[in-house]
């Protein structure tokens, strides 16, 4: 799981950098967009950074637990966190 978390974290950080460049080069400029749309872009950008950093840190520091129930809980949490960079929280409100 460590390698998967590390890979997803690195990919999410790369996507964060790419979306930052997209917002910088966006036509029309981001400042010209209406406030709601601009905040959606920014919130998705920040969520991507947060989930990428969490996955990156788990890839560096996670250690499987000895107890069966702890290991299964850890695996369930890892699966949820691995999906976090691909989850779009703004789509829940549509």
Enclosing domain of residue 77: 2-88
| Residue 4 binned pLDDT confidence (cut-offs 50, 70, 90) | very high
| The total number of structural domains that make up the chain | 1
Residue at 60 is within a domain: yes
Question: What is the token pair recorded at 24?
Answer: 């910088």
One DSSP character per residue, 33-78 reads S-HHHHHHHHHHHHHHHHHHHHHHHHHHH----SSHHHHHHHHHHH
Its pTM stands at 0.81
State yes or no: cis peptide before 28, omega within 30 of 0: yes
Span 63-81, pLDDT tens digits:
888 888 988 998 899 999 9
Residue at 93 is within a domain: no
Residue at 94 is within a domain: no
């Amino acid at each position: 799981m460590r390698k998967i978390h590390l890979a997803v974290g690195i990919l999410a950080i790369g996507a964060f950098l790419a979306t930052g460049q997209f917002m910088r080069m966006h036509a029309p400029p981001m400042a010209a967009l209406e406030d709601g749309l601009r905040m959606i872009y920014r919130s998705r950008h920040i969520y991507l950074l947060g989930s990428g950093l969490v996955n990156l840190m788990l890839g560096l520091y996670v250690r499987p637990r000895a107890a069966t129930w702890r290991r299964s809980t850890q695996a369930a949490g890892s699966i949820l966190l691995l999906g976090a960079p691909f989850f779009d929280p703004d789509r829940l409100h549509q």
